[in-house]
Amino acid sequence: MRLLVTGGAGFVGSNFIRYVLEHYGPEMITSVDALTTGRLASLEGIAATYGERYEFLHADVADPDRIEAVLAKHQYFAVVHLAGRASGVAGTTAILARARRHGVRRFLLVSGEHDQEALAPAEAAVLGAHGEHAQEVVITRATECYGPFQPPTALIPGVIARALRDQAVPLAGDGSQLRDWLHVGDHCAGIFTALLDGAPGKIYRLASGHAQRDIDLAQRILEHLGKSRDLLEFAPDAEGMRSVAAPTSEGEGVRSPAPIPAPEPLAWKPRHHLEPGLRETIDWYVRNRDWWEPLPVG
């Protein structure tokens, strides 16, 4: 069985490819990425480890000729589309149509609660393909995600990078925003479970139930690195950054986007607790400065 993964050089994409190849021996993956935000450095070592089970193609999903050639190269069981935000609704619609034409059985869009405004058109296009063409589509919508290979423009790696450089760590408002944090390994497991077991036309919410205020999270990072809390700075509260109640894994909370309920719960639950998962993530960034140091820090 072969999967086509778009956005495979990104944070979740590169982790998902590693997860599938490591845990599911027969699987083969073709990774496609335009490399506008994704980095080949995030995929280093995969080809050498997994050989013919993995291939990378530099392509933009919005390029119809290039994607046509990619889909014609193999018989794919599914497309796992992680480039919905980058490709926009036009790119998502185009790859949906080509997947149908080439007999791809399933199409999964990886979405997220934190960027719902940007991904809503892609979600609508995917659900529309199910309603109009009976295409087997599934959407996963995750809460905040963390782990290896996340660019330091995101909150957790940004705090780590700034702390390691002894730079000020700015937090929005008073740092009281509450977020549900999902380890990327659990995110990848949830995506794969939804791909195989999810009901067509449904959205599955992936959450950990481990909520944490920004200030508490930043303080944990500083403490683990042996850095002073005096590095923390607080910026004026911006629109959209006010404190909200973080939803739990059962979907409770305030102001969280309401996903379409799944007919049955996924046979999935997160395995990483936030405290050890955060420590492991911090240690990864300490060991892999050569990966993140060339990147801009948020």
Span 263-286, pLDDT tens digits: 467 889 999 999 999 999 999 999
Contacts of 223 (CB under 8 A, 6+ apart): none
pLDDT at 68: 94
Span 214-251, pLDDT tens digits: 999 999 999 999 999 999 999 875 433 333 334 443 33
Q: To 10 degrees, the CA torsion angle through 41, 43, 45, 47?
A: -130
Buried b (16+ CB within 10 A) or exposed e, 170-194: bbbbebebbbbbbbbbbbbbbbbbb
The pTM is what?
Answer: 0.91
Mean pLDDT for the chain overall: 90
Which stretches of the chain score pLDDT less than 70?
237-264
Contacts of 214 (CB under 8 A, 6+ apart): 155, 171, 172, 175, 176, 177, 179
Helix axes 84-101, 64-73, angle to 10 degrees: 50
pLDDT at 237: 57
Rounded (to 5) percent helix, strand, coil in the chain:
45, 20, 35
Instruction: Return the closest-CA partner of residue 78 out of 157, 18, 20, 165.
Output: 20
Q: What's the DSSP call for residue 51?
A: G
pLDDT at 264: 62
Contacts of 265 (CB under 8 A, 6+ apart): none
